[in-house]
Chain A
């Protein structure tokens, strides 16, 4: 479960942060993987997967293919990454297609419903995607920031702040303590740093993080 991501909303912004490690089980193979994707000017998601689920679901997926295909697909860690990245690619392209067809951007709320539906359909298919994600967005029509947590089953929750992966064990209580409804951007960044510090202090796994902020101006990188 080498994943850890956070999301924090304020009145008119959302922060998303994710670890940058890629690997399998206890082995880290990469520590500069970007696991945050910008979907549109006001929308981005941080994604990760569940390792236990991952391998078993992934194996089932592989068993569906021919042995030739199986050989071509390479190592399992590659496959895991493809799983999550594939899904995020799929979502990104579909949202772009909607934008081209209808000449209007999908707002965060309908986008979250769309993504949820894809995962809910996927979980009952022969080869489900194993993706957990935090979706953050700024709704330009209603001038509000939104944060959604969607898990691999398609369970969607709309939340003021959230953590996924290993972060839930150590950082949720930090957020519970310091978050308040009108939290300013600087305070939210400070809170995020507190969470990251907590991860460094309490988890055996060494994470590096990257983060973004989404507001009415769009998506910007946030140096931590």
Chain B
């Protein structure tokens, strides 16, 4: 039955479904988990690295975490190759906005832009949808810290804590249980590790299997003495910083948490 309705993305099935889009979502639920948690002083994104090998030539750059802009980072679940196309679009859109308005692009606007591209591929014939879900962490003056997800259909939504990829419903349940409103960034990082530990298949967690990124506010280094012309100096330099963690730092976080010990005790 479904064969007649899934070879083209543009065709609704009699039940009113778009099979290709659903397949894309299915593909994502096989990808490594990524979770995002909004804290009061920052946002953390954490994801599981599915493929680790001693032979892999690791250049130190993250596989599933991308900086989109000075004030935004994204985690990917799904097809990395598809993601990089969208990431390129997003980066260019953000820079073009900065050039036009001399101001960082508001987070939701950038996400909307990416989602419009995604949506296009659920409608135009002959092409498959992007097999990618994103987790976005961002900061802007109006809405402060924000966390969003988007999926292949082009829908997006804002969250306080959420997850995409494999076992995302299990992760979501755990997050719902442990999330508190006034979490600090550090506590959020710890929560992220705990949740990943429980949802990941592998037994022992280490920096090799995880990717971590945080977005936070840095108290601005003493403001420049001069008044400076905003016409040429650019937007008031936001103190937003994002950081993709090194393997070693993740290891330290795990060690500090002692989650592994807890686990051993449980066993």
Contacts and interface: CB of A to CB of B under 8 A. Distances in A.
A/B: CB atoms within 8 Å of each other: yes
Interface in A97-143: 102, 104, 106-107, 109-114, 116-117, 141-142
B229 A109 contact: no
A167 B100 CA distance: 30
A117 B141 CA distance: 23
A102 B113 CA distance: 11
Nearest to A146: B230
Interface string B140-172: 011000000000000000000000000000000
A158 interface: yes
B142 A114 contact: no
Contacts of A113: 100-103
B106 A102 contact: yes
B101 A157 contact: no
Contacts of B235: 109
Interface string A144-158: 000010000000111
Given A102-B109, A104-B142, A141-B141, A110 B102 contact: yes
| Listed residue (B99, B103, B229, B231) with the most chain A CB atoms within 10 angstroms of its CB | B231
B241 to A, nearest CB: 21
Nearest to A157: B231
B103 A109 contact: yes
B100 A117 contact: yes
A113 B231 CA distance: 8
A158 B100 contact: no
A67 B141 CA distance: 52
A7 to B, nearest CB: 15
Contacts of A109: 102-103, 230, 235
B52 to A, nearest CB: 42
Contacts of B99: 117
Contacts of A116: 231
A50 B1 CA distance: 71
B102 A104 contact: no
A79 B81 CA distance: 54
Interface string B75-114: 0000000000000000000000001111100100100000
A157 B227 CA distance: 13
Contact of B101 (A114, A141, A148, A156): A114
Contacts of B106: 102, 104
A114 B102 CA distance: 8
A107 B142 CA distance: 11
A158 B231 contact: yes
Contacts of B230: 109, 158
A116 B100 CA distance: 9
B18 to A, nearest CB: 26
Contact of A114 (B100, B229, B231): B100
A158 B229 contact: yes
Interface in B212-235: 229-231, 235
Interface of B: 99-103, 106, 109, 141-142, 229-231, 235
Given A106-B101, A116-B231, A156-B231, 7 more contacts: A109-B102, A109-B103, A112-B231, A113-B100, A142-B141, A157-B231, A158-B229
28 contacts: A102-B106, A104-B106, A104-B142, A106-B101, A107-B103, A109-B102, A109-B103, A109-B230, A109-B235, A110-B102, A110-B103, A111-B101, A112-B102, A112-B231, A113-B101, A113-B103, A114-B100, A116-B231, A117-B100, A141-B141, A141-B142, A148-B231, A156-B231, A157-B229, A157-B231, A158-B229, A158-B230, A158-B231
Interface of A: 102, 104, 106-107, 109-114, 116-117, 141-142, 148, 156-158
